Amino acid sequence: MFPHASRSQEHRFPETLRVARRFTGGLTLALAATLCGALGAGLVSCSSTPGTREDGRPKLSDEEQLGLYFENALRYIELGEIARAEDQAFRALEIEPKNSRFLLIYGQCKLLQGKSGDIQAAIQIFESISEKDDYRVQMFWGAAVERSGVLYEEAAAGVRDGSRPTDAPDRAKRSVELESEARDQWRQAKAHFLRSREIYPGEPQSLGGLVRTTALLGEMDESIAYARELIDSIRGSQRLVMIQLEDEGLSAEDETRLFDNKRSNREFEVKARLHIAFLLEELGRYNEAVTEFDEILVLQPDLPEAYSLKAQLLFDLGEFVKARSSIERFIELRARTASFEDPDIRKAYDFVERCERAIATSNQN
């Protein structure tokens, strides 16, 4: 997900604030696709001589067994069965403990599970891989260190508000120390993502990592620039998909896959633009943020949250009539799936009244 900073305003709606943190460029199963290419020249096999099974059939050689584990692990990752993928990688590493391809898969499985111990294990695994100049190693390593920083940030917040136990005599001081460690982790993660891009400039997941880490570090203009670069990459991919869809000889399976890619690209661009819009708001560049929401609504005209967020910006800009129109569109769309008692709808009606009062006041003046 893209992180963002949000200023506190009384008319912000809880649901819309949650939306801004939904970003698939974060630690998602989409990263599994990057493992489909071989790490290095291929599997390094032990040159063992095949034996026979109890039923008389020849046993699989180590090379064949490793190939089977590799195929199984990738399939399980794509299915979201991370524990089973991890088991396949573990079995392979029992045969070849230093096999970089399986170390990468094993580390990714730890990363996707996401608990503190898993994240630290993932970092140690990526550190142990000898092929440091493989972009995937740097990319996953960066993602693990980034996640470690988020865990430090969460710990700092818990120590600060008293919800997390600590042996430190000074909670405030300990919180500051943890926050400092979080920032150090994000700086390291950023360096890994930059190195990944040096090795392979065309990898969007590394670029997504830079979007996130720069935002976490408060480098908002840099994060916006990376996000716009990411959007250019997404649009390039979308153009290629559209060209492929024009092929009259497409199989039904390929056509389904391409339509899925088309939808995913559009959703990914929406989330990238949401990130940009929130950072622009944080920087006080409201007109630019409104323009960003206009772009979002071209891509996804039925996104209720975009209308509510745009309404709030328009209100801040003194565009009260436009703000009312936008929030009314939010209510119309949200009412399709929620009741009048929904907290966001009730707050939206309150916001309509604020707009009307502001319009009346401006007309009197």
pLDDT tens readout for residues 293-326? 999 999 999 999 999 999 999 999 999 999 999 9
Going by C-alpha positions, the residue among 234, 210, 233, 206 that lies closest to residue 221 is 210
List the structure tokens of 189. Answer: 């993660």
Inform me whether the pLDDT recorded for 21 exceeds 70: no
Mean pLDDT of 258-268: 92
Inform me whether the pLDDT recorded for 25 exceeds 80: no
Alpha-carbon distances of 53 from 60, 195, 208, rounded to whole Å: 9, 47, 48
To 10 degrees, the CA torsion angle through 338, 341, 344, 346?
A: 130
Give residue 202's pLDDT.
Answer: 82
- Between CA 213 and CA 186 the distance in angstroms is 6
Mean pLDDT of 16-40: 38
Inform me whether the pLDDT recorded for 31 exceeds 50: no
Give residue 45's pLDDT.
Answer: 36
**Per-range mean pLDDT, top range of 26-30, 31-35, 167-171, 285-289:** 285-289
Give residue 362's pLDDT.
Answer: 87
Burial of 90 (0-12, 13-18, 19+ CB in 10 A): middle
Instruction: Give φ, ψ of 51 to 5 degrees.
Output: -105, -150
Which residue shows structure tokens 């990526």? Answer: 126
- Between CA 24 and CA 326 the distance in angstroms is 27
* Largest interatomic CA distance in the chain: 95
pLDDT tens string 289-298: 999 999 999 9
- Between CA 212 and CA 207 the distance in angstroms is 9
Bridge partners (DSSP) listed for residue 58: 52
Q: Which CATH number fits domain 203-365: 1.10.30.50, 1.25.40.10, 3.90.226.10, 1.10.760.10?
A: 1.25.40.10
Inform me whether the pLDDT recorded for 164 exceeds 90: yes
- Between CA 137 and CA 148 the distance in angstroms is 16
- The rounded mean pLDDT for the chain is 86
Radius of gyration of the chain measured on its C-alpha atoms: 25
Give residue 363's pLDDT.
Answer: 84
DSSP state of 52: B
pLDDT tens string 343-361: 999 999 999 999 999 999 9
The domain ranges of the chain are 203-365
Residues 6+ apart with CB under 8 A from 155: 164, 178
Report if pTM > 0.95. Answer: no
pLDDT band at 54 (very low <50, low <70, confident <90, very high): low
Query: From the CB of residue 84, how many other CB atoms can be counted at a distance below 10 Å?
Result: 15
Percent of the chain at pLDDT > 90 equals 77
Element (H, E) at 62: helix 62-79
Between 60 and 120, the more confident residue is 120
pLDDT band at 35 (very low <50, low <70, confident <90, very high): very low
Give residue 333's pLDDT.
Answer: 95
For the residues of 147-183, what is the DSSP string, one character each? HHHHHHHHHHHHHHHTSS----S-HHHHHHHHHHHHH
Which pairs from 115-119 meet CB under 8 Å and 24+ separation? 116/151, 119/144, 119/147, 119/148, 119/151
Give residue 51's pLDDT.
Answer: 55
Inform me whether the pLDDT recorded for 40 exceeds 90: no
Between 329 and 42, the more confident residue is 329
Give residue 15's pLDDT.
Answer: 35
Query: From the CB of residue 363, how many other CB atoms can be counted at a distance below 10 Å?
Result: 8
Give residue 59's pLDDT.
Answer: 80
Give residue 248's pLDDT.
Answer: 87
pLDDT tens string 61-87: 999 999 999 999 999 998 999 999 999
